[in-house]
């Protein structure tokens, strides 16, 4: 495969932005693709895939060349893909035989699977010996799932529309009636069906959270950590756009993005509110039929999708999140009416962020709450992102 040095140079600059400047890989990729209008689809795919895979395997690649220089790390990636190194000065002193020899002699599981030592230790402690299978699954590239916007179309009609737009997809399973999976990775955001609001890009695991709440048309629902609102939009379609969804977040820009998405999807039951003081929450006590708490978490369950998270995360950050999660659960839960339901959810696999938080909550507030069910979704089991959700009912 012929590669152009200027394209690899752009990859090197992008890696510097991710690792040295702490920027998020998906945003760096997006910005570069926007700037490089002259690139064809092959170059664009090559650029995006290279960044994601090098970020995913950075620790192993640095070990193979015994260096943290991004040109050499790229060279290790290129050799590992089974390619010949180009004759460039930047990679002239990379010893191909040494890289191949090191590939056969990797000193630890954490290096082989390219995760930090602290993360390997934490996963082993919390998940037990099967953590290795989990980590291997988290290193697979994520598949792309779509959620049909049932306010505008049906899964069958959407499949037909996508085919006409040159997008190949397939249905997923009976327990995910509105989900479609791309059979070939393509940029769906530039298609007419997306611009018409016929679907949202949403992982299959994420699509299993909103239905747990059993929202009904006419309900008053609070999505308390809404972000850009993927689950708010899902609930709006399940409610047939009847009732009221109050989507809260501490970031104004995320709520602005939600407004854009809601307009595109034909959703008008969502009201966004910025959490700028604790009064915003307290004013809504005892007011909601349903409350969704998709709390800030480590994101370990979505490492396939966001591989740079493992280099930005730390043990201390997870400990800080534990405090925040419990604070949100205890201070936001009273927004639920008596007899109403609440879902506590994370995209983490760690029991300390998941069932342990719910167990503590029930130990302290069990007089007022009942656990109805819990859901654990694991990348090595279902093949989707890792998610946890607990459905609670207020007595």
According to DSSP, the residues that pair with 341 across neighbouring strands are: 290, 393
- Report the candidate in 200, 143, 191 with the shortest Cα–Cα distance to residue 167: 191
373: phi then psi, degrees, rounded to nearest 5: -160, 160
Residue owning tokens 């790390």: 73
- CA distance linking residue 390 with residue 209, whole number of Å: 9
Is residue 127 within 8 Å of 378, Cβ to Cβ?
no
Q: Is 129 helix (H, G, I), strand (E, B) or coil?
A: coil
CA distance to 53, 219, 384, per residue, from 28 (Å): 14, 40, 24
d(CA 236, CA 38): 39
Both tokens of 129, joined, read 């010996």
Which token pair is 37? 């209008």
For residue 49, what are its two tokens? Answer: 């895939």
What is the set of active-site residues?
Answer: 347
Q: In what order do the strands lie in the sheet with 270-274?
A: 270-274, 244-249, 220-223, 288-294, 336-346, 387-394, 369-377
Q: Give yes or no for a contact between 65 and 73, defined as CB atoms under 8 angstroms apart.
A: yes
Extract the tokens encoding 118.
């602290």
List CB contacts of 182: < 8 A, sequence separation 6 or more.
143, 144, 145, 146, 167, 168, 169, 188
Question: Three-class SS of residue 38?
Answer: coil
């Amino acid at each position: 495969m012929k590669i152009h040095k200027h394209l690899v140079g752009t990859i090197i600059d992008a890696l510097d932005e991710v690792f040295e400047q702490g920027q998020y890989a998906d945003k760096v990729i997006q910005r570069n693709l926007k700037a490089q209008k002259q690139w064809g689809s092959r170059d664009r795919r090559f650029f995006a895939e290279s960044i994601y895979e090098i970020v995913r395997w950075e620790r192993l690649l640095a070990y193979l060349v015994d260096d943290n220089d991004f040109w050499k790390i790229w060279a290790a990636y290129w050799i590992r893909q089974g390619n010949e190194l180009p004759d460039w000065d930047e990679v002239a002193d990379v010893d191909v035989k040494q890289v191949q020899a090191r590939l056969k002699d990797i000193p630890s599981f954490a290096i082989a699977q390219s995760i930090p030592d602290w993360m390997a230790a934490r996963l082993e402690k919390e998940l037990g010996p099967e953590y290795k299978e989990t980590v291997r699954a988290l290193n697979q590239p994520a598949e792309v799932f779509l959620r049909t916007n049932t306010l505008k179309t049906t899964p069958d009609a959407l499949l037909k529309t996508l085919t006409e737009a040159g997008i190949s997809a397939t249905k997923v399973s009976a327990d995910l009636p509105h989900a479609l999976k791309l059979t070939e990775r393509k940029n769906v955001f530039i298609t007419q069906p997306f611009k018409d609001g016929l679907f949202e890009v949403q992982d299959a695991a994420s699509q299993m959270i909103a239905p747990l709440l059993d929202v009904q048309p006419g309900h008053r629902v609070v999505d308390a950590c809404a972000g850009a609102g993927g689950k708010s939009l899902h609930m709006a379609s399940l409610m047939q756009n009847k009732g009221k969804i109050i989507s809260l977040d501490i970031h104004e820009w995320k709520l602005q993005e939600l407004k854009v998405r809601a307009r595109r999807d034909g959703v008008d039951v969502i009201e966004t509110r910025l959490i700028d003081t604790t009064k915003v929450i307290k004013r809504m006590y005892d007011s909601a039929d349903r409350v969704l708490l998709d709390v800030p978490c480590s994101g370990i369950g979505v490492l396939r999708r966001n591989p740079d998270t493992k280099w930005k995360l730390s043990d201390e950050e997870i400990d800080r999140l534990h405090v925040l999660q419990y604070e949100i659960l205890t201070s936001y839960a009273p927004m639920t009416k008596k007899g109403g339901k609440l879902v506590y959810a994370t995209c983490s696999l760690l029991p300390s962020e998941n069932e342990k938080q719910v167990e503590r909550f029930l130990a302290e507030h069990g007089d007022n709450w009942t656990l109805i069910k819990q859901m654990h979704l694991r990348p090595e089991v279902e093949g989707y992102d890792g998610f946890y959700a607990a459905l609670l009912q207020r007595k």
